[in-house]
Structure 1
Amino acid sequence: MGDRIVKKNSGALGAAILVLIFSGCGGGGGGGGPVAPAGPPATGTINTGSVLAISGRAVDLAFQSGGFGNITNFVGLTTVATGEPMTLGKGIVTKAGVWNVNSQIPVGPEITLCDVAGSVTVSGDLASPLTVTEGDFLDYLWDNCDDGLGQVINGLIGMTFTEFEGNLLAGRILLRVSLAVQGFQVIEGTASNTTTGDLALSIDSRTQPLTVVTTMGSTLTVDNGSSTETLTDFSSTVTEDTSMFPANFTSEATGRVSSTQFEGVVSYATPVAFQASGDGFPYVGEMLVFGTNNASIRITAIDEVTVMIEADYNGDGVADATIETTWAALVDG
């Protein structure tokens, strides 16, 4: 989905996880509207004043949760889907040498200066410095870390490795990790995102050229300084196909979101997976968002520039408003 919908998501983000089946017709049909996902009823009010805010937050936050697959780039768990050898701990090697054969076990705490300013501290416990073992854990603490890439990073991420299989050198692995995220902040210029929550991450690069990363969790809060959003009971999926150039991304998501930009909680899911090329916005795909009294929003990709929003304010299955706008305006609004 590129850097535009999912901030800092240049790699594969999630694995196929759509657990809901939608039935019925679309916003303008006579056979009934889309069916809300199972779970607690949504309480968000969808009306003319909230439809764009809800649509933008649902799309942006749903795929930002998937963006935690890309957090692995900060800690060196980088999947390489280009045929190059994958180095688990690439960032660790360059930052703290944790994966060096001569590393101590337990690890650290080892403090390493970042290229421009700040530092990162790595500590934990590894059964072996040569591979990943179930039960291994590493804590990363960033302190105003600036590597000259336009970002300053703060916060703590604790990683517990729960499963591993495959060949590290060949880059064909299945890796599952639990992440405890505490005040993880990425600052770019005057913009910042601070994230707190617990989630599970799965990286599967065994069937290249496809790489799949699954992220799921119970609660994740993102604060960008002007608004705060909370995801609950969420999962996000992106499959990256590098047989094409640029790479193609197929993205799915489900969950619930609340925000200081609107009242209540809405649920969301993708009955038609979004697809995007490279860093572009989706050129195909659909998301459904549900509020109170079965009010709903259908968000449909027209192309990588334009998106159509069909809003059913009273839950009768008939669209009360149709809005055509750009992806950029929707997610940045």
Structure 2
Amino acid sequence: MSKSSPHNQRQLLNVCITLLLTLCVSACGGGGGGGDTPKVNNQASTTSIDSGNAMQILAEVSAAVLGTDNLTNSVDFSNSNVTVEMNMSNPTAMHGASVTSQKALAGIIINYTPIGPETVDCYVSGTQKIWGDLNDVNTLTAGDVLNIESNMCDDGYGEVIDGLLEMTIVNIDGDINSLEFLLEVEVKFADLMTTTDSESISFDGDISMVIDTLAPPLEKLEVSGNSFSINFDDKAVTMSNFLDTFIVDTSTFPIAWEQSAKGSLTSSEFIGTVNYETTLTLMGTGGSYPHSGELLVTGADGASLKLIVIDAENIQIDADYDGDKVIDETTYITWSELEGNS
């Protein structure tokens, strides 16, 4: 049986972590990778929204949906062929994640049947243990499983990875080698942590991911899950019953993209849980913020905050604090000003 190089193992692990973190932080979406309608999270008390916490809440939700802050900066997003900026207001990162994932799955996973268990040294320090089971050495099939357990693994890319990642292939259609296919994967994170000189980020929970490139130049990525938690420095965020769909058109320059999202969010930055959904699909181009779309956040007693995109720089926020369906306050700010509240 052939043996995976430390570089390829790190590459595969970081592809998985980055794609899933990217989609979860930017738009964690729920209930399993088929697109089921998320259920409202009733596990925690619903947040009361008022003029004192409105901007903080909306900033946290928009950061989770769009990734407009730097939560994912510590996660390396590169392999030998692809390098993209780690900024999830940038759809190029989504496209890069898709391409990188396809190459990793096609070029690494299908080389082993069964996989391990093998423990190898990482390039700088630490180890990785890889094991799993593939039905066919020549192709990916439903039921294939890959586990990667990192023990303070440092492969010289500026981060140390520790914890367990498990991937299960649920469905595959098309030709993965031609990069035109539909791939559905279930992923489990078990207190997996990445650490850099500046910060540490840990992930815990189960999600489902669908990559659909059967109709080029359109590429569709969908992430869903019941509960997924992200902890970094002094902040903790949990996405519940979420569903996020992201579509890019790679034939345009800059790339045109659209995003829809729905779910619930709990953050250490406010008390309780809020629900959110894109009532009008967010659309944009290149690395800019959305130039159109709407995002609705709801809290206790019907209170709501509606973010209305004016253009790629400016937004309007309509606040209904008492839930009577009458706007109590309208605020005009820039995307950057909103981001400053996160």
Q: TM-score, normalised by structure 1?
A: 0.76
C-alpha distance in structure 2 between counterparts of 1:313 and 1:289, whole Å = 11
C-alpha distance in structure 1 between counterparts of 2:256 and 2:306, whole Å = 23
> Tell me, which stretches of 5 or more residues in structure 2 are unaligned?
1-19, 83-92
Tell me which residue corresponds to 2:11: none
For residues 241-252 of structure 1, what are the structure 2 equivalents within 5 Å? 241-252=249-260
Q: Is the 8 A contact 1:124 1:139 kept in 2?
A: yes
C-alpha distance in structure 2 between counterparts of 1:151 and 1:288, whole Å = 36
Q: TM-score, normalised by structure 2?
A: 0.74
Identify which of 104, 116, 125 aligns with 1:90. 104
Tell me which residue corresponds to 1:300: 308
Post-superposition CA distance 1:157-188 (Å, at most 9, x none): 11111111101221111111111111233334
> Tell me, which stretches of 5 or more residues in structure 1 are unaligned?
1-5, 21-36
Identify which of 50, 56, 73 aligns with 1:47. 50
**3-state DSSP class of the match of 2:301?**
helix
Q: Which moved more, 1:153-162 or 1:234-243?
A: 153-162
Tell me which residue corresponds to 1:99: 110
**3-state DSSP class of the match of 1:261?**
coil
C-alpha distance 238-140 of structure 1, shift in aligned 2 (>3 A): same
Identify which of 54, 57, 60 aligns with 1:57. 60
One-letter identity of the residue aligned with 1:168: I
C-alpha distance in structure 1 between counterparts of 2:332 and 2:127, whole Å = 45
Q: Work out whether 1:260 is the aligned partner of 2:268.
A: yes
Tell me which residue corresponds to 2:142: 134
C-alpha distance 60-306 of structure 1, shift in aligned 2 (>3 A): same
Tell me which residue corresponds to 1:316: 324
Q: CA deviation at 1:276?
A: 2.5
C-alpha distance 88-287 of structure 1, shift in aligned 2 (>3 A): closer
Q: Which structure shows the higher helix fraction?
A: 2
For residues 1-333 of structure 1, what are the structure 2 equivalents within 5 Å? 8=22, 19=37, 40=42, 43-63=46-66, 88=102, 90=104, 93=107, 98-100=109-111, 103=112, 105-331=113-339, 333=342
Q: Is the 8 A contact 1:74 1:91 kept in 2?
A: no
Q: CA deviation at 1:81?
A: 6.9
Q: Structure 1 vs Structure 2: percent identity of aligned residues?
A: 28
Tell me which residue corresponds to 1:24: none
**Paired residue total:** 298
C-alpha distance in structure 1 between counterparts of 2:176 and 2:245, whole Å = 23
Q: CA deviation at 1:323?
A: 2.8
**3-state DSSP class of the match of 2:324?**
coil
Post-superposition CA distance 1:81-102 (Å, at most 9, x none): 79x9988462785xxx5533xx
